[in-house]
């Protein structure tokens, strides 16, 4: 794994054993990864990697701006995989029958998910959820620290990939941006 600090000119390496998924934490020195064995690890600049789960555990990960680390587990339920979050070095399963294939943490400690039908929903740690769109709406999702939600839709874009849209605040209209994409991350500024 490689990282680059904002003022640095070169990329530095961190011993992690490799990853298939990654998300940066709200503190710029931390990142969370899933390796090809489904293990979750916490990486921190200048520190040894910390294993947060065993093999076969997770397939998607997101660290919200509030510090909550969310995963979609490899345990399948209706709509995708089970959703869990990390608290005090323990994974807590969200008591919901709603599964997901994509997840992103929000600044207020909730998660936005996309299920196998392409529907977006908001999910709370206690299992309360609210459907935000109809089926077939999105395939990728990311929330910025200011709460703006970004998606890659299921609609192809002439430049390649699919259309990209954002919503400044929940309930506002979705706005398309120029160009297509296959992966996105709203990230931290």
Residue 187 lies in a domain: no
Contacts of 183 (CB under 8 A, 6+ apart): 140, 152
Alpha carbons 178 and 158: distance in angstroms, whole number:
10
Residue 188 lies in a domain: no
Residue 64 lies in a domain: yes
Q: Pick from 146, 110, 145: which is nearest to 129 by CA?
A: 110
Provide the domain count of the chain: 1
Residue 19 lies in a domain: yes
Residue 79 lies in a domain: yes
Alpha carbons 100 and 139: distance in angstroms, whole number:
11
Alpha carbons 76 and 118: distance in angstroms, whole number:
16
CA R_g for the chain: 16
Residue 35 lies in a domain: yes
Residue 189 lies in a domain: no
Alpha carbons 72 and 14: distance in angstroms, whole number:
25
- CATH code, domain with 52: 2.130.10.10
Which residue range forms the structural domain that includes residue 26?
Answer: 2-181
Each residue's pLDDT tens digit in the chain (189 positions)?
Answer: 677 677 778 887 777 778 989 998 887 788 999 999 999 999 998 889 999 999 999 999 999 999 999 999 999 999 999 999 999 889 999 999 899 999 999 999 999 999 999 999 999 999 999 999 999 999 999 999 889 999 999 998 988 899 999 999 888 999 999 988 888 887 654
Q: Pick from 155, 83, 167: which is nearest to 118 by CA?
A: 155
């Amino acid at each position: 794994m490689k990282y680059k600090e904002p003022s640095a000119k070169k990329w530095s390496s961190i011993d992690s054993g490799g990853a298939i998924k990654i998300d940066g934490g709200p503190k710029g020195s931390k990142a969370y990864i899933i390796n090809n064995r489904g293990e979750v690890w916490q990486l921190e600049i200048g520190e040894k990697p910390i294993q947060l789960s065993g093999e076969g555990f997770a397939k998607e990960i997101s660290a919200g701006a509030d510090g909550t680390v969310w995963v979609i587990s490899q345990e399948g339920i209706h709509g995708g995989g089970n959703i869990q979050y990390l608290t005090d070095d323990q994974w807590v399963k969200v008591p919901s029958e709603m599964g997901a294939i994509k997840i992103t943490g929000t600044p207020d400690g909730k998660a936005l998910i996309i299920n196998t039908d392409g529907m977006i929903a908001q999910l709370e740690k206690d299992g309360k959820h609210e459907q935000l769109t109809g089926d077939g709406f999105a395939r990728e999702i990311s929330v910025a620290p200011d709460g703006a939600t970004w998606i890659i839709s299921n609609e192809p874009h002439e430049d390649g990939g699919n259309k990209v849209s954002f919503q400044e605040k929940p309930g506002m209209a979705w706005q398309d941006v120029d160009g297509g994409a296959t992966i996105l991350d709203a990230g931290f500024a």
